[in-house]
Structure 1
Amino acid sequence: MQPHVVFIHGALNDHTVWRAQSRHFAQHGYRVLTPDLPAHGAAPGPALGSVAAMADWLLAQLDAAQIGQAALVGHSLGALIALEAAARAPQRIGHLALLGVAYPMKVAETLLATARSDEPRAIDMVAKWSHTPGHERADELRQLMLRLSRQQSGRHLLHTDLAACNAYDRGEAAAGGVHCPTLFIFGASDVMTPPKAARTLTAALPHARSVTVQAGHAMMVEQPDAINDALLKFCLPEH
């Protein structure tokens, strides 16, 4: 049976942040699903306001795609969604990979307020903080977020996503319901979700493995080969 892997993007992102990983896993025989969250990218709205609602939506996507069991790979907000989904339907998740995760994933009040009052400025802040200083592809994330913001003009999508991260309070409980192999991938230079901010989750998932790559929060773009290698070795140990 062809194995499945599902990639879940983060706040005000879409499936395109997973291009390198999607290609890599498809080349290794996986059926790949990279859904856009509601109101993100090509997906219709309205946006969902909580991690719990997003996890339920994700499981419904697995149903619609007739996927019985899959590996879940989530980044940032997407990592919280993957964690919650794995706890809600443990029999359906064969592997769980959490990239750039923190718990609690608290968002600075200044950023939340700016995301509501001046979304372009908040996007500039997030894009800057998501990359190691001077990275050549730093503007790609900014342009993606601006495009998604224009598609949802006036709906404060970045604020909705960040507020969902900030409000999520089920991390430890969800971790207690996860029994599949679990992998944390951290960016050594990540200032958005520094590795130390995941200590509560790593303690709650003592069976999990951890990998650190030399990257910021946008690790899939900064270190695609390292991320691909870590994920594939995790999902397919024989590789």
Structure 2
Amino acid sequence: MELAVRTSGPPTAVPVLLVHGMGGDHTTWRAVARALRTAGRRVAAVDLRGHGRSGRAASYRLDDFRDDLRFVVDDLGSGRVDVIAHSLGAQAAVRWAMAEPDRVGRMVLEELPPMPRDDADLAEDIEPTASAVDRVRGLLALAADPRPFLRFDRRIPAEVGAEFKQAEPSWWDGLAGLAAPTLVISGGDRSFLPPHHLQTVAETLPDGGFTTISAGHSVHRDRPREFLDAVLAHLDVDLPG
């Protein structure tokens, strides 16, 4: 299986790894990548397995996506990277950061679906999906560019969703040991992910911050200016001028 990665910006700068959510691809980060390049950062935007121009795979477990990110970072040849990740991509990024914490600088986790801790969490049935409003916005995005949808392996939602049907308290233990400065971004009450769950994620992280941008599940798409302002501030990046 081949992984497609788009790299740009100064080759000697510390990379920022951009990881899209379920059903998307690297093109969702165009505005963010452009701003980071303007600020002098190197950018690596990956298409996850089964998405975009990356190959399809026999397995789509969350740890498979984690291992793909490890491969991408190895290939970049950088000792440490910053990470901006959305939804399924944020889940993959957190798992990779838990496995290799010394390789993570700063992280931005947009609408990260937390793993269930217990039966109460399981009863809420939280998993990477979309609200009715998000689906309408997704259809508008599809009309503008159908390629991510056409290339998406439709086996992924069922395989990923099955992992959110069982409690994984060890995920929360790993989160509590993740020292990277991390900003958790919630899309507010318009998202299917309850904001208080994302705030709990931020509070569990040793160096976690939390902000809400009322946009629904895809904050970077629907409120790009506010999202970019939060990201650049967290990464301590200044745009020229």
TM band (smaller chain): 0.7 to 0.9
1:91 aligned onto 2:102: yes
Residue 130 (structure 2) aligns with:
126
TM-score (norm 1): 0.79
Cα distance in structure 2, aligned partners of 1:79 and 1:56: 13
- 3-state SS, counterpart of residue 109 of structure 2: strand
Counterpart contact for 1:3–1:29, Cα < 8 Å:
no
- After alignment, is 200-209 or 8-17 more displaced? 200-209
Change (3 A) 1:216 1:173: same
Aligned partner of 2:211: which letter?
Answer: V
CA distances 1:148-203 after superposition (whole Å, capped 9, x unpaired): 454357x5233234334555824312212311111111112333212112244223
Deviation of the 1:33 alpha carbon: 0.7
Describe the shift of the 1:20–1:107 C-alpha distance in structure 2 as closer, same or farther (beyond 3 A).
farther
How much identity, in percent, do the aligned residues show?
Answer: 26
Partner letter of residue 132 of structure 2?
Answer: K
User: 1: distance between equivalents of 2:188 and 2:75?
Assistant: 37
Q: 1:159 to 1:230 in 2, by over 3 A?
A: same
Alpha-carbon distance, 1:142 to partner: 4.3
Aligned counterpart for 1:7 among listed residues 10, 13, 18:
18
Matches within 5 A, 1:106-185: 126=130, 128-130=132-134, 137-143=137-143, 147-151=147-151, 155-166=154-165, 169=168, 170-185=170-185
Q: TM-score, normalized by length of structure 2?
A: 0.79
Is residue 198 of structure 1 aligned with residue 198 of structure 2? Answer: yes
Between the two structures, name the one with larger relative contact order (CA 8 Å, sep ≥ 6): 1
- Structure 2 counterpart of 1:235, which letter? L
Question: Letter of the aligned partner of 1:215 in structure 2?
Answer: A
Unaligned runs of 5+ in 1: 113-124
Q: Which amino acid aligns with 1:221?
A: R
Question: Once superposed, what is the RMSD of the aligned Cα atoms?
Answer: 3.2
2:52 corresponds to 1:53:
no
141-150 or 86-95, which moves further after superposition?
141-150
Q: Does structure 2 conserve the Cα–Cα contact (< 8 Å) formed by 1:8 and 1:78?
A: yes
More displaced stretch, 197-206 vs 18-27: 197-206
Tell me how far 1:41 sits from its aligned partner: 0.4
Partners of 1:5 and 1:73 within 8 A in 2: yes
Instruction: Verify the 8 A CA contact 2:20 2:86 in the aligned structure 1.
Output: yes
Aligned residue identity for 1:37: L
Query: What residue number does 2:233 align with?
Result: 233
Rounded to whole Å, the distance in 2 between the matches of 1:224 and 1:13 is: 16
Stretches of structure 2 that go unaligned for 5 or more consecutive residues are 1-11
- Inter-partner Cα distance in structure 1 for 2:74 and 2:111: 27
Cα distance change of structure 1 residues 86 and 210 upon mapping to structure 2, 3 Å threshold? same
Aligned length: 223
Measure, in 1, the Cα distance between the counterparts of 2:59 and 2:141.
22
